[in-house]
Structure formats: C-alpha cells, structure tokens
C-alpha cells in the first residue's frame, strides 16, 4: 500500500438525503442514528417530499466546535432536490464545497437549483475529469441506443460551480473528508454495467467509468463512513480503496448506490453481500440504484446492520 491520505477523525458525520428513489413518511425506526424528516411548518404538514430516480445529499462533519458542510451529488430533475430542500426547511447557505460521484444525468440534474440555494458563486466542485466524457448512451436489450445528456464544464460553470479536477484522492473540508478519485478495480465479480456505453476518441465501448468516485469520512473511534453515488466501479472496490487511501480498516457505515439493479444474483449480488459482510460495518445503507431485489437480500443477510434510506432521511454517525 502506498502513502495514505491525512484525514482527520471527526466527532460526527451527518448525511441528509435530499433525493433518493423512495419515500415513506410513515416509516418509523428505533435506531438513534436515523431521523425521518417531515415537512411540517407550525405543526402542520405543508408539502410532501419528492422521490425520483437519482441521488443528492448534504453532508455535515463536526469536530469540536467546527462544523463544515458540502453537497454530494444533485439528483435527477431540475428542481426535485431543491423542492425537498424547501419542504424540509434546509439551510444550504453553510455549504462551502461540492463533489460529484460521476457524470450521469441522475446525479447532475438538480445542480443549478441546489447551488443557487447556497447563495454562492464559484462554489468548488471536486470531480474526476472523465465526468465530462461523452457522448454516453444506454443500449436496450433490442439494441436501440438511448443517448444520455452530456455533462460539461460549461454547464458546471453556468450552475455557479468552479471545477476542481481530481483523478486521485483529495482532502476536502479542512481534511475532515476525502474525495476518493478514480476507484481501482480489485474484485472479479464487479464488472460495471454492460449496457452502458460511451465514445472515447470516436470509438464506442463499454463505459469504463473512470470518473466513478465516492466520499470517505473517519468517525473518531468508530471507523470509516463511505458514501458512494452509484458505485459503477463496484461498492466493494470502493470500500477497499477507501481503506487503502486512509490506512483505516474499521468501517462504521457503507452508504450509497451499489448498482446491483438487474445484476445476476449468484455471480454479482451474493458475492457483493458476502464481501460487504466481511468488512464488518456497523451500518449498511443501500440507496438509489441498488435495486429492490438486492436491497431485500442485503436486509435479509444483514438485518441488524441494515438501514432503509429514502428522500428526507437524516443519518448521524457519531463517535
């Protein structure tokens, strides 16, 4: 293992999901980690919370009296995540940076509206430069090509973001967080998405997702919190990389899209669950593109570790 990244041990990591695929405002949980946010104003429910295929979150880390906040991903539609911000009464003015998991439309769509709510211009956006690669497209089982909206540096700038290219692990929030950069491929069973393609130097090929990345935090005495967007590079590969980058083996929470929707159960889903279990995390929180069947299997395999995430969920991982 090479040189590790300096990442501070923090007292608390709070992840507020601004957008996810599901919502159930009547869901109740006994875990002290979970708070189900409800859009209540003066004792009256004013609005619902919107769910859509996509992911957006606000992360706040705390160390002593210092508290720092960032955005990680922006959701699918232009206003879905921003609607939830308003419905939940979230103050984005304390956001000082942002990071992007990869350049797909279900993670960049709400960028402009969310950044506007921070009240800032030239908000730093840490992102792997391959996020701007394109065109990207989906091939259906019938062979039809469906083009995906292309992310560009111009779109980021128009949204009020200042792009910070990062191919390698990069500290954020005064070293209280780290963007993982490109995720090396170590497992045999995580082979990406065979139906997702891109053009590189004019030649179409299966998308290598060099831009796929994640965030990592270190909760004092409890271990790593790993937060992915889609984990196109593999959620197991992501956690392996996070441990290598930080030099910390103990894992408190693994959260994010695990990209197991429609994946082969025996060849991909089950080996992934076995590997996640072997990390011995305190919590496992599948989101977004994990897929209903895979989520059910994860909950069955790890019932005491499992947390059901949805739009409006606030998770607090504390020392």
In a domain, 42, yes or no: no
Q: How many domains does the chain have?
A: 1
Q: How confident is the model over 50-89, as pLDDT tens digits?
A: 999 999 999 999 999 999 999 999 999 999 999 999 999 9
**Parallel, antiparallel, or unpaired: how do β-strands 313-318 and 177-179 relate?**
unpaired
Question: Would the pLDDT of 179 be above 80?
Answer: yes
- pLDDT at res. 40: 66
In a domain, 137, yes or no: yes
Q: How confident is the model over 302-316, as pLDDT tens digits?
A: 999 999 999 999 999
- Which domain does 256 fall in, by range? 12-37+49-318
- The average pLDDT across 229-242 equals 97
Question: Would the pLDDT of 292 be above 70?
Answer: yes
In a domain, 6, yes or no: no
Question: Would the pLDDT of 47 be above 80?
Answer: no
- pLDDT at res. 39: 74
- pLDDT at res. 32: 87
Higher pLDDT, 47 or 260: 260
- The average pLDDT across 177-189 equals 97
Q: Which residue has the tokens 């025996």?
A: 266
- pLDDT at res. 278: 98
In a domain, 244, yes or no: yes
Question: Would the pLDDT of 41 be above 90?
Answer: no
Question: Would the pLDDT of 33 be above 80?
Answer: yes
Q: How confident is the model over 144-169, as pLDDT tens digits?
A: 999 999 999 999 999 999 999 999 99
In a domain, 187, yes or no: yes
Residue 24: band (very low, low, confident or very high) from pLDDT cuts 50, 70, 90? confident
- pLDDT at res. 42: 67
In a domain, 300, yes or no: yes
In a domain, 232, yes or no: yes
Question: Would the pLDDT of 233 be above 50?
Answer: yes
- pLDDT at res. 1: 46
- The average pLDDT across 250-273 equals 96
Domain with residue 16: its CATH number is 3.60.15.10
In a domain, 153, yes or no: yes
- Does this model's pTM top 0.85? yes
């Amino acid at each position: 293992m090479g040189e590790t990244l300096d990442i501070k041990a923090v007292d608390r990591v709070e992840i507020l999901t601004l957008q996810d695929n599901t919502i159930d405002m009547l869901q109740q949980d006994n875990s002290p980690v979970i708070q189900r946010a409800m859009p209540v104003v003066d004792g009256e429910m004013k609005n619902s919370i919107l769910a859509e295929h996509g992911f957006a979150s606000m992360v706040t880390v705390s160390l002593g009296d210092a508290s720092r906040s960032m955005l990680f991903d922006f959701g699918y539609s232009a206003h879905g995540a921003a609607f939830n911000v308003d419905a939940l009464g979230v103050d984005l003015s304390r956001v000082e940076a942002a990071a992007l998991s990869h350049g797909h439309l279900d993670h960049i769509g709400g960028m402009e509206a969310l950044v506007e709510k921070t009240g800032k211009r030239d908000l730093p956006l840490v992102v792997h430069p391959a996020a701007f690669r394109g065109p990207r497209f989906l091939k259906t089982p019938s062979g039809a090509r469906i083009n995906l909206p292309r992310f560009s540096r111009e779109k980021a700038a128009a949204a009020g973001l200042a792009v910070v290219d990062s191919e390698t692990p990069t500290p954020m929030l005064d070293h209280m967080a780290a963007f993982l950069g490109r995720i090396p491929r170590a497992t045999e069973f995580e082979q990406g998405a065979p139906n997702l393609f891109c053009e590189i130097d004019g030649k179409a090929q299966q998308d290598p997702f060099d831009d796929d990345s994640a965030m990592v935090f270190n909760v004092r005495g409890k271990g790593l919190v790993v937060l992915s967007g889609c984990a196109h590079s593999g959620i197991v590969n992501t956690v392996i990389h996070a441990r290598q980058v930080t030099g910390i083996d103990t894992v408190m929470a693994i959260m994010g899209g695990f990209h197991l929707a429609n994946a082969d159960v025996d060849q991909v889903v089950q080996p992934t669950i076995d590997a996640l279990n072997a990390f011995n995390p305190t919590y496992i929180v599948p989101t977004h593109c994990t897929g209903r069947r895979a989520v059910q299997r994860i909950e069955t395999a790890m019932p005491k570790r499992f947390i059901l995430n949805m739009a409006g969920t606030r998770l607090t991982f504390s020392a």
